[in-house]
Amino acid sequence: MRTTEDIFQKQLHAYTITHAIEDTNVLRFHVDYFKPEGKNPPKAGEALAKRAVIEAILAKHDTATASRRFNAVLATASINDAIEYHRLFSELQKAKHAADPAFVPLNIACVFSPPAEGDADVKQLQQDLPQEKQDNEQDPEGKKAALKAILASYNARYGTNHTVAEFDEYYKDVQKRIKDQQWPDADLRKASPSVLHHKIDITIVVDMLLTGFDSKYLNTLYVDKNLKYHGLIQAFSRTNRVLNGTKPYGNILDFRQQQANVDAAIALFSGEKSGEEARTIWLVDKAPVVIQKLDAAVTKLADFMQSQGLACTPDAVHSLKGDDARAAFIKNFKEVQRLKTQLDQYTDLTEDNAVAIEHILPFDALQGFRGAYLETAQRLKQQQAQQDKGSDLRGDDAADVDQLDFEFVLFASAVIDYDYIMGLMSRYSQGTGKQKMTKDELIGLILADAKFMNERDDIAAYINTLKAGDGLSETAIRDGYTRFKREKDSAELTDIATRHQLAPHALQTFVEGILQRMIFDGEVLSDLMAPLDLGWKARAQAELALMKELVPLLSKRAQGREISGLSAYE
């Protein structure tokens, strides 16, 4: 092993991963050294049975990836190991699904270079893949046949037509699907409605993807190969690209007991930092330490609520007086949620850890506070927008609100989406299924998720119209909600039209025209007001009064999209 100092006698400058972590340019790591139960624990570097590794992955994957918000790579020691893992994943997941129909199998891909067979592109590719190049020298036909079978499975799942002869196109497609993790399933289905699957949950590799490949939505590395020094750091670093608060660290599950190798790599690549100091920078705190921090954050929130003369309950948040107090609640609870998000992705929590977390912050209280946070944050964010546009908001309250960073993404579940909610409504209506919920629990679930901020009141109102035992199918629930929204939207516009002495159908046409084109046209507004036969001054006042009511309605129905020209009335 030779270093820069060995060759040049003097190191002029170094920017190590330690500096990058300290500068928050990359994330720290959480390393779980998996130890199977039993009297004979494996030695460092010793391989476990592949079935045991897969069982552990299936048990831990949803936790590690925040309920599949992110995806993972499984690093294996050889092409033969990768082939065997791919086969066993298919076999074990079929058995698991047969035993429990509620189990949703992980989408597994596998990528390794084919035998070169004189192909210049593959030869060039394998210059950086020493293990794969060596493996392909043994039984190349067997490797090629296995890769063909893997491609056939991939093509069937993703509706593609990749071949070994055009391996590079397959490799690019795998990389794209790993990065496509950022898009909601609903969006991908709209783009390709005939394809059943779009994303990859785990990609099995040997050398590929362990260097140079970056995806912010890849957060977990499963390790079943011996790694050391630069190779270890490179492989780990596939997981630690910064995204947002939902990705607090890179997750490593090591099945080879390589703590000594990790410590040695940290020591070598830490620059001037000492061993223990570097470990503190590189690695996240152990779960008990984070649980203590969560306890302190919840206590701080309780102390704040008590300072306002209120109990530390979700309902009490609505009684906070003044924007200073609301801003303080936002800051305090965001820290609570940040720590809870970190703990939610720890793959090595013990049963005692889970009990301690639930005692500190019971699930029902967490859900309630999340809903209160979203409601309060939405209100303050609107004020922040007004402040940015030069409204009359002034003083200390304005300064506090202006500095708030809301991080709504922390409060959006990867599991709970529109389809999930419609399914829950149907099960509530039928009064059947594992996920039985009361009406209040169902509404609370929606109020606590940021994805439904623009529709939370509509969905909650619709749920209140449902009756347990009505036996409505999911299709009927969806159609009913569409009809409910249409009627509610129409009634809302009719009320506005009546107040402003306009024809309801004319106002409806005006609003629909804006939302279809996403353009506000002042001349069309003038045409709408023309039947009132007002003088220019009275008409200007009437237009302003109408737009004061229409702007929030249009903004809500635009669902985050910008309506060109509307800002003049905001």
pLDDT in tens, the chain (570 residues): 676 777 887 766 677 788 888 888 999 999 999 988 776 777 787 788 999 999 999 999 999 999 999 999 999 999 999 999 999 999 999 999 999 998 999 999 999 999 987 777 778 888 889 999 999 999 999 999 999 999 999 999 999 999 999 999 999 999 999 999 988 877 777 777 767 778 999 999 999 999 989 999 999 999 999 999 999 999 999 999 999 999 999 999 999 999 999 999 998 888 666 778 888 989 999 999 999 999 999 999 999 999 999 999 999 999 999 999 999 999 999 999 999 999 999 999 999 999 999 999 999 999 999 999 999 998 888 777 666 665 554 455 555 666 677 888 899 888 888 888 998 999 888 876 555 678 888 999 999 999 888 888 899 999 999 988 788 899 999 999 999 999 999 999 999 999 999 999 999 999 999 999 999 988 999 999 999 999 999 999 999 999 999 998 898 888 778 899 888 877
Between CA 330 and CA 323 the distance in angstroms is 10
Count of residues in the chain: 570
Q: CB neighbours of 554 closer than 8 A, spacing ≥ 6? A: 511, 514, 515, 520, 563, 566
Dig out the tokens for 160 from the structure.
């593609």
Structure-derived torsion over alpha carbons of residues 537, 543, 546, 548, reported in degrees to the nearest 10: -90
329, 304 Cβ separation under 8 angstroms:
yes
Question: Count of CB atoms within 10 A of residue 169's CB?
Answer: 13
DSSP assignments along 40-102, one per residue: SPPPTTPPPPHHHHHHHHHHHHHHHTTTTTSEEEEEESSHHHHHHHHHHHHHHHHHHHHH-TT
Report helix, strand or coil for 443: helix
- The vertex-73 CA angle with 67 and 74, nearest 5°, equals 110
Alpha helices in 4-49 (DSSP H): 4-8, 17-22
How far apart (Å, rounded) are the C-alpha atoms in residues 208 and 199? 19
- Tell me the two tokens of residue 279: 């470990």
Residue partners of 568: CB distance under 8 A and separation at least 6 = 520, 522
Of 211, 248, 189, which Cα lies nearest the Cα of 407?
Answer: 248
At which residue do the structure tokens 């036909």 appear? Answer: 141
pLDDT of 267 reads 87
Residue type, 374: L
Express each pLDDT in 155-214 by its tens digit.
999 999 999 999 999 999 999 999 999 888 777 777 777 677 789 999 999 999 999 899
3-state secondary structure at position 252 = strand
The two tokens of residue 364 are 């029902």
Give the gyration radius of the chain's Cα atoms. 28
Whether the CB-CB separation of 247 and 172 falls below 8 Å is answered with: no
User: How high is the pLDDT of residue 401?
Assistant: 66
How far is 542 from 408, CA to CA, in rounded Å?
Answer: 36
pLDDT confidence of residue 11: 66
What pLDDT, on the 0 to 100 scale, is given for residue 99? 95
Strand partners, 110: 204
Nearest to 327 by CA among 279, 266, 395: 395
Residue type at position 490: S
29-33 and 202-205 as β-strands: parallel, antiparallel, unpaired?
A: unpaired
* Spatial separation of the C-alpha atoms in residues 227 and 238, rounded to whole Å: 14
| pTM for this model (two decimals) | 0.85
CA separation for the pair 171, 121 (Å, rounded): 13
User: Taking CA 173 as the corner, what is the angle to CA 169 and CA 177, rounded to the nearest 5 degrees?
Assistant: 175
If we measure between CA atoms, which residue out of 462, 465, 499, 498 comes closest to residue 482?
462
Distance CA 200, CA 171 (A): 13
Q: How many CB atoms lie within 10 A of CB 6?
A: 8
- The answer to whether 265 touches 253, Cβ cutoff 8 Å, is no
- The alpha helices in 192-344, defined as continuous H runs, are 229-236, 259-268, 275-282, 287-307, 322-344
**What is the tens place of the pLDDT at every residue in 102-121?**
899 999 999 999 998 777 77
- Strand 71-76 relative to strand 218-224, pairing: parallel
